[in-house]
């Protein structure tokens, strides 16, 4: 303060003014907000405005900030625990969010399917997808016709399913173990759309089956097979989880041999002489 | 009001007389129908296998009427939508036909498969019963060996049958069979080409397995089962120790009518179990697995339970191999395929002879041991069960990992440790349990059992009154006999006996001592039937500890 010509007393007096606190808070908020507006990316948002999706993108972005950004970063650039989402496309967003996998509950070898949060509506997923598509495109979601099981050839799909899927997902999609605590999930809960999206985006441990590996038509055949198999009533009685000999062995030892032992005890039992 | 039959009705007497005059059936039946069988529930376990075998023969015959053991390619056009237009082998297509088009075909297929599982499971528990009660001892060693052969053949019969439908699951098993055959040093390649008639899978293996499965192996099984039964009949069944039961007699019910009724009832129970499972529980749904192509493999490819221990051994084995002068010895396949099976089957076959050698016991035994009374045998048996069980469990490690959310590699590491540590631990625990149970028997014999009566003495002291055990239970406990020991002690001049001078002899004497002498003698009651624990006279108390 020395040499400025303003007395120290007058500055401290202003600081003690009743409105000083309000002014400081207003200044800090202004700086923060202004700084954010200055540095936050706005180019892709401009493009979206031009295409008329500005509202979806803006809504999607705010959903992203609220539910995803803590791990994936404010700009979906990824973080120590989560991959970047630039270029993953709407298909990945829909698969992950509509199956409840994202937002993830916590770190682990693999993120499980879980019940959807209250905010997860088809509209919210659309908005989130629109925002992620503005970050660098990526696989689009399939149309209803592309995943209609009624339009597929299940027998052909079955052959492709056996050639490409059962190594991990088991004969009819009961799921199976992978290394380091990862696993191929049971396919019974997946919707036709989710199955398609999983194939084109390769979530978690799953490889990508893009359109040059398996054509969209063959994908629909495979979806037809998966859906028909899960609806197929087991002609032989209880399906025992459809995982083959492990449960059959358990049944013969637990039910079969217990029954035989109990009947053996029964027919050889005799009254004790008192 | 009752009417008594004065003479045999003509309708019965006529044909019976006709047969008797020509076959001598009368004296044969007279001798054998009154054959006495001892009664114990565990003696029926072997019958599970016998009756399952009968059901296997009947259902299997039914299946042969439609099954086509061919590997020629056909395009499926049957009623099962999800495979229409798919190329498959004749064997697989005919199995689909049996399942979906032949009336009762699926039920027969399922009963055949459940009966096969129950056949092997029944044999296994029967074998465990014979082992743990020492019923394999002289004069029954040869029948025991027949039993071990039957078990081995049953595994082979199961393996060939499992492969016949030529579905994707059984193809995985066939591929492992090929892998094992080709891993054998020197003969592997020749053996594989011989078995498959060329490169795997070739076009011959199904029809060859078919001949083995429906003709050769069942024929041998039938012959050996007959021999097993005849020997049992001639040598008489062992009996559990009890009132009036000695090495010279058999106490029980005559074959006709009592035992025949029970055996007949037990057949019906076995049939109930198999038909019930065949009706309500789906087994080997080959339409879900799809036809075999060598290019496809599924998660959760498992063998039927009786091959599970081999699968587990294969999964636990580290990837070891030896390369020598351009030849590869794949230990990672050879060891799991041969070593556990070798240990278990050879161990089973030799055990009666090893035990005889160790104990020097060449006497006949017709009264069974209670497992606790030969603690080393019981512990060895339990250790073997643990070894088998851990391999068996780990054969399903992918299903365990997936169902219980355990890291797959952790299950493998657990198995690698447990397969060695588990049997040792179980050996010690079983031994301690056996000794504890022996002490309990001694206590029952010398002190009696709690009567539930608490008495107050004139001096104010309370005592718990014990009464002697019921006579039949006491006789059951008295069946305990000391295990003979081969003496290796030097005589008065310091010279060991003849058999115990060599290294082998010394080892035998040491083992014999261990096997036979840690044995708690039954001490009978000291004459006063109401031993009162806590009466404070010290003499009673010490027996407890």
Alpha helices in B467-502 (DSSP H): 471-478
Number of domains in chain B: 2
Question: Global pTM?
Answer: 0.87
- Condensed to tens digits (0 to 9), the pLDDT of residues B87-135 reads 999 999 999 999 999 999 999 999 999 999 999 999 999 999 999 999 9
Exposed/middle/buried for residue B462 (C-beta within 10 Å: 0-12, 13-18, 19+): exposed
- Condensed to tens digits (0 to 9), the pLDDT of residues A194-229 reads 999 999 999 989 999 999 999 999 999 999 999 999
The tokens describing B260, both together, are 């025949």
CB B533 within 8 A of CB B464: yes
Whether residue B520 lies inside any domain: the answer is yes
The residue out of B282, B304, B326 marking a domain boundary is B304
Whether residue B89 lies inside any domain: the answer is yes
The tokens describing A257, both together, are 């041999």
A176 bridge partner residues: A184
- What is the band of A21 on the pLDDT scale with cuts at 50, 70, 90? confident
Indicate whether A115 and A171 sit together in one domain: no
Indicate whether A173 and A205 sit together in one domain: yes
* C-alpha A2: how far from chain center: 63
Whether residue A211 lies inside any domain: the answer is yes
Exposed/middle/buried for residue B66 (C-beta within 10 Å: 0-12, 13-18, 19+): middle
CB B315 within 8 A of CB B395: yes
Indicate whether A113 and A59 sit together in one domain: yes
Whether residue B391 lies inside any domain: the answer is no
Whether residue B379 lies inside any domain: the answer is no
- Compute the distance between CA of residue A95 and CA of residue B349 in angstroms, rounded to an integer: 58
Write down the pLDDT at residue B92: 97
Whether residue B362 lies inside any domain: the answer is no
Write down the pLDDT at residue B537: 43
Whether residue A111 lies inside any domain: the answer is yes
The residue out of B261, B285, B304 marking a domain boundary is B304
- For the beta carbon of residue B12, count every other beta carbon within 10 angstroms: 10
* C-alpha B427: how far from chain center: 19
Nearest to A171 among B41, B110, B300 (CB): B300
| Cα angle B86, B92, B96; round to 5 | 85
- For the beta carbon of residue B262, count every other beta carbon within 10 angstroms: 18
- Condensed to tens digits (0 to 9), the pLDDT of residues A156-203 reads 999 999 999 999 999 999 999 999 889 999 999 999 999 999 999 999
Whether residue B16 lies inside any domain: the answer is no
Nearest to B288 among A242, A245, A269 (CB): A242
Indicate whether A104 and A174 sit together in one domain: no
Q: Which residue has the tokens 């194939």?
A: A199
The tokens describing A69, both together, are 């950004």
- Cβ contact (<8 Å) for B409 and A180? yes
Low-confidence ranges of chain B (pLDDT < 70): 1-3, 518-519, 524-545
- What is the phi/psi pair of residue B290, to 5°? 85, 165
Whether residue A271 lies inside any domain: the answer is no
Find, in chain B, the residue whose alpha carbon is nearest to that of A250: B305
Number of domains in chain A: 2
β strands within B345-468, DSSP E: 449-456, 462-467
Alpha helices in B364-407 (DSSP H): 375-394, 397-404
The tokens describing A109, both together, are 């070898």
Indicate whether A58 and A147 sit together in one domain: no
Whether residue A22 lies inside any domain: the answer is no
B271 near A CB under 8 A: no
- Cβ contact (<8 Å) for B122 and A260? yes
| Cα angle A127, A130, A135; round to 5 | 135
Q: Is the pLDDT of residue A269 over 90?
A: no
Write down the pLDDT at residue B268: 97
Whether residue A121 lies inside any domain: the answer is yes
Whether residue B529 lies inside any domain: the answer is yes
Return the CATH number at A201: 1.10.760.10
B371 near A CB under 8 A: no
Picking from A237, A247, A265 by the largest number of B CB atoms within 10 A of its own CB, the best residue to mutate is: A237
What is residue A179's DSSP assignment?
A: S
Whether residue B282 lies inside any domain: the answer is yes
B240 near A CB under 8 A: no
Indicate whether A102 and A189 sit together in one domain: no
- What is the band of A50 on the pLDDT scale with cuts at 50, 70, 90? low
Write down the pLDDT at residue A49: 52
Q: Which domain holds residue B286?
A: 35-241+253-304
- Compute the distance between CA of residue B377 and CA of residue B351 in angstroms, rounded to an integer: 9
Return the CATH number at B88: 1.20.810.10
B262 near A CB under 8 A: yes
Provide, as residue numbers in chain A, all residues whose Cβ is less than 8 Å from the Cβ of B114: 252, 256
The residue out of B280, B304, B328 marking a domain boundary is B304
Whether residue A13 lies inside any domain: the answer is no
Find, in chain B, the residue whose alpha carbon is nearest to that of A228: B82
- Compute the distance between CA of residue B544 and CA of residue B221 in angstroms, rounded to an integer: 51
| Cα angle A60, A63, A69; round to 5 | 110
Q: Which domain holds residue A203?
A: 142-240
| Sign of the four-CA dihedral B187, B190, B193, B197 | negative
Whether residue A20 lies inside any domain: the answer is no
Indicate whether A191 and A176 sit together in one domain: yes
- Cβ contact (<8 Å) for A261 and B279? no
- What is the predicted ipTM? 0.89
Whether residue A245 lies inside any domain: the answer is no
């Amino acid at each position: 303060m020395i040499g400025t010509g303003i007395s120290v007393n007058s500055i401290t007096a202003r600081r003690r003014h009743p409105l000083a606190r309000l002014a400081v808070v207003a200044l800090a908020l202004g700086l923060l907000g202004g700084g954010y507006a200055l540095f936050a990316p706005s180019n892709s948002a401009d493009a979206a405005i031009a295409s008329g999706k500005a509202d979806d993108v803006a809504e999607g972005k705010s959903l992203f900030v609220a539910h995803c950004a803590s791990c994936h970063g404010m700009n979906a650039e990824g973080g120590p625990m989560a991959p970047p989402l630039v270029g993953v496309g709407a298909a990945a967003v829909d698969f992950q969010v509509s199956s409840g996998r994202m937002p993830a509950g916590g770190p682990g070898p693999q993120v499980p399917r879980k019940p959807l949060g209250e905010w997860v509506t088809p509209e919210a997923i659309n908005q989130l997808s629109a925002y992620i598509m503005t970050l660098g495109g990526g696989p689009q979601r399939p149309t209803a016709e592309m995943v209609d099981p009624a339009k597929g050839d299940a027998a052909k799909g079955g052959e492709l399913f056996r050639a490409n899927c059962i190594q991990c997902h088991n004969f009819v999609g009961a799921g199976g173990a992978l290394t380091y605590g990862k696993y191929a999930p049971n396919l019974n809960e997946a919707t036709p759309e989710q199955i398609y999206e999983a194939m084109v985006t390769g979530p978690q441990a799953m490889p990508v089956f893009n359109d040059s590996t398996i054509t969209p038509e063959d994908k629909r055949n495979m979806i037809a097979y998966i859906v028909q198999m899960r609806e197929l009533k087991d002609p032989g009685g209880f399906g025992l989880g459809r995982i083959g000999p492990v449960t059959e062995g358990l049944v013969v030892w637990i039910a079969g041999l217990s029954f035989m032992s109990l009947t053996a005890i029964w027919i050889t039992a005799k009254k004790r002489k008192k | 009001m009752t009417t008594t039959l004065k003479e045999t009705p003509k309708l019965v007497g006529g044909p019976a007389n006709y047969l008797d005059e020509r076959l001598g059936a009368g004296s044969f039946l007279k001798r054998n129908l009154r054959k006495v069988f001892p009664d114990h529930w565990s003696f029926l376990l072997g019958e599970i296998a016998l009756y399952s075998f009968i059901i296997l023969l009947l259902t299997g015959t039914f299946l042969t009427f439609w099954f086509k053991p061919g590997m020629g390619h056909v395009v499926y056009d049957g009623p099962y939508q999800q495979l229409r237009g798919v190329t498959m082998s004749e064997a697989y297509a005919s199995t689909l036909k049996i399942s979906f088009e032949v009336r009762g075909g699926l039920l027969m297929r399922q009963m055949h498969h459940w009966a096969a599982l129950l056949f092997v499971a029944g044999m296994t528990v029967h074998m465990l019963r014979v082992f743990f009660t020492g019923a394999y001892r002289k004069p029954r060693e040869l029948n025991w060996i027949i039993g071990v052969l039957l078990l081995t053949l049953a595994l082979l019969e199961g393996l060939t049958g499992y492969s016949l439908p030529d579905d994707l699951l059984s193809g995985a098993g066939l591929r492992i069979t090929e892998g094992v055959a080709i891993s054998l040093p020197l003969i592997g390649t020749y053996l594989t080409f011989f078995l498959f008639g060329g490169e795997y899978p070739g076009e011959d293996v199904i029809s060859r397995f078919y001949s083995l499965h429906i003709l050769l192996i069942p024929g041998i099984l039938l012959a050996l089962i007959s021999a097993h039964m005849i020997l049992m009949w001639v040598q008489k069944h062992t009996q559990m120790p009890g009132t009036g039961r000695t090495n010279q007699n058999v106490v029980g019910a005559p074959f006709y009518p009592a035992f025949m009724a029970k055996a007949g009832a037990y057949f019906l129970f076995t049939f109930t179990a198999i038909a019930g499972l065949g009706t309500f529980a789906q087994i080997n749904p080959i339409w879900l697995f799809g036809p075999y192509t060598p290019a496809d493999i599924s998660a959760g490819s498992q063998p039927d339970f009786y091959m599970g221990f081999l699968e587990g051994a294969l999964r636990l084995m580290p990837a070891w191999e030896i390369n020598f002068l351009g030849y590869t010895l794949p230990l990672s396949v050879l060891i799991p395929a041969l070593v556990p099976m070798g240990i278990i089957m050879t161990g089973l076959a030799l055990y009666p002879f090893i035990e005889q050698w160790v104990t020097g016991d060449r006497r006949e035994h017709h009264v069974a041991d209670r497992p606790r009374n030969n603690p080393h045998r019981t512990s060895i048996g339990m250790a073997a069960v643990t070894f088998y069980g851990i391999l068996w469990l780990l054969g399903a490690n992918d299903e365990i990992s997936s169902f219980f959310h355990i890291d797959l590699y952790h299950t493998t590491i657990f198995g690698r440790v447990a397969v060695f540590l588990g049997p040792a631990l179980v050996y010690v625990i079983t031994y301690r349990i056996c000794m504890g149970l022996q002490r309990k028997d001694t206590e029952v014999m010398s002190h009696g059992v709690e009567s539930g009566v608490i008495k107050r003495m004139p001096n104010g002291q309370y005592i718990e009154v014990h009464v002697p055990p019921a006579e039949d239970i006491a006789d059951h406990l008295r069946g305990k006999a000391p295990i003979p020991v081969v003496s290796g002690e030097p005589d008065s001049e310091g010279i060991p006996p003849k058999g115990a001078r060599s290294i082998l002899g010394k080892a035998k004497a040491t083992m014999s001592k261990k096997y036979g002498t840690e044995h708690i003698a039954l001490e009978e009651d000291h004459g006063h039937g109401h031993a009162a624990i806590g009466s404070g006279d010290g003499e009673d108390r010490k027996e407890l500890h």
